[in-house]
Amino acid sequence: MTVPATQPPEWADRPIAVIGAGTLGRRIALMFATGGGIVRVCDRDASQREKASAYLEETLPSVLDQVESTTPADIEFTETIADAVPDAWLVVESLPERLDIKIPVFGELDERAASDAILATNSSSYPSSQVIDQVSRPERVVNMHFFMPPVATPVEVMSCGHTEEAVFERLFERLPRYGLTPFRVHAESMGFIHNRIWAAIKREALMVLDEGVASPAEVDQLYRMVLGARTGPFRAMDRVGLDVVLDIEENYAAHRDGIPEGPRRLLRRYLDEGRLGMKSGRGFYDDYEPQPGQ
């Protein structure tokens, strides 16, 4: 393994690659684009690349002001991993929460990326130890779980079980340059730090709705007033995407006993009605304006 603890000067000129141009992928690319250099966004779906391009063009100028940067990256869009990862010092995967997709992708990343590149998964529910079956150099693999930048900028960083300490040192030194705040996850955890707590809140909110106890708007208003939060759980789920929320719940249910069926049944009903949340124009709420790049 050749990931040095300190960054050679030439690394500043090497690209960052984001694999997946969906809701979170384009937001991850947005934050890295504030640091100059080159950011490559890879997605085989042309419509996703177009939406990501529109989102970045619309949003990047205001985020540059927030992070006090005046040097945006050159953003490139690619259809294939082969075109995205050459010479990248960091590759972040942000694909659907399915191991049958992630495992072969990490095998390809391991084969095609530079030998000193850090390979990261943004998975919110799968530890990176579960994506390295086809990886020959797992010491450079790590979880980098982003939330919803640029609004929420923490990043949880967790070992795959083999990750070299130099990888953490590099990321903790580098991520703040992009307006991101890293947090170390000290033991392997399905769901990580925040999402384990947040999953319980989402699940209970969904049960409240499923049982007819309260409406989404009532839950959100009460939640905001009691906790002083900026948004409530239903509005937050709409922002993430109800399809993503369901994928995460299905994964918890597959690995933990006692996860109730009601929340997943409710989410499936909303998805069957085309209510994916903000990205489809309606979810638990119907009052969304068209979003750039959505």
Of the candidates 282, 1, 284, the residue with the CA atom closest to the CA atom of residue 137: 1
> What CATH number corresponds to the domain at position 32?
3.40.50.720
Q: What is the mean pLDDT of residues 95-113?
A: 96
Is 224 found in the same domain as 136?
Answer: no
Helices 216-227 and 233-240: crossing angle in degrees, nearest 10, is 110
Query: pLDDT by residue (tens digit) across 119-131?
Result: 999 998 789 999 9
The reply to whether 181 and 214 lie within a common domain is: no
| End position of a domain, from candidates 122, 156, 185 | 185
One domain for residues 159 and 235: no
Q: 139 and 254 share a domain?
A: no
- 231 phi and psi, to 5 degrees? -145, 160
Same domain, 50 and 175: yes
Could you tell me if 73 and 112 lie in one domain? yes
The per-residue DSSP string of 129-154 comes to GGS-TT-S-GGGEEEEEE-STTT--E
In a domain, 32, yes or no: yes
Locus of tokens 């939406």: 51
Structural domain of 260: 194-280
Query: What is the reported pLDDT for 1?
Result: 47
- My answer on whether 258 and 145 are in the same domain is no
Mean pLDDT of the chain: 92
| Nearest C-alpha neighbor of 102 from the set 114, 120, 117, 84 | 120
Across 34-63, average pLDDT: 96
Residues 6+ apart with CB under 8 A from 213: none
Same domain, 34 and 156: yes
Same-domain status, 27 and 118:
yes
Residues 96 and 174 in one domain: yes
How many independent structural domains does the chain possess? Answer: 2
Residue that is last in its domain, among 185, 202, 217: 185
Give pLDDT, residue 191.
Answer: 80
pLDDT value at 291 more than 60: no
What is the pLDDT confidence band of residue 88, given thresholds at 50, 70 and 90? very high
Quote the percentage of the chain above a pLDDT of 70: 94
d(Cα 24, Cα 289) in Å, to the nearest integer?
A: 19
pLDDT, tens digit (0-9, with 9 covering 90-100), for 149-168 = 999 999 999 999 999 999 99
**What average pLDDT does this structure show over 55-60?**
96
**Band of pLDDT at residue 11, cut at 50, 70 and 90:** low
DSSP-derived secondary structure letter, 36:
S
pLDDT band at 5 (very low <50, low <70, confident <90, very high): very low
Q: What is the mean pLDDT of residues 72-87?
A: 97
Residues 224 and 257 in one domain: yes
Asked if pLDDT for residue 294 goes beyond 80, the answer is no
Contact between 125 and 195 (Cβ < 8 Å):
yes
On whether the CB atoms of residues 127 and 192 are closer than 8 A, the answer is: no
| pLDDT computed for residue 12 by the predictor | 65
Tell me the average pLDDT across 206-230: 97
Please state the rounded mean pLDDT for residues 256-272. 96
Confirm if 5 and 166 have CB atoms less than 8 A apart.
yes
Which residue carries 């209970």 as its tokens? 204
- Final residue in a domain of this structure, among 160, 185, 210: 185
Cβ atoms of 125 and 92 closer than 8 Å:
no
Strand (E) or helix (H) holding 263: helix 262-272
Average pLDDT, integer, range 233-252: 92
Q: CATH number of the domain at 265, please.
A: 1.10.1040.10
Which of 76, 65, 233 lies closest to 150, judged by CA?
65
pTM here?
Answer: 0.79
The token duo for 48 is: 């996703």
Is residue 280 predicted with pLDDT exceeding 70?
yes
Query: What average pLDDT score do residues 245-257 get?
Result: 90
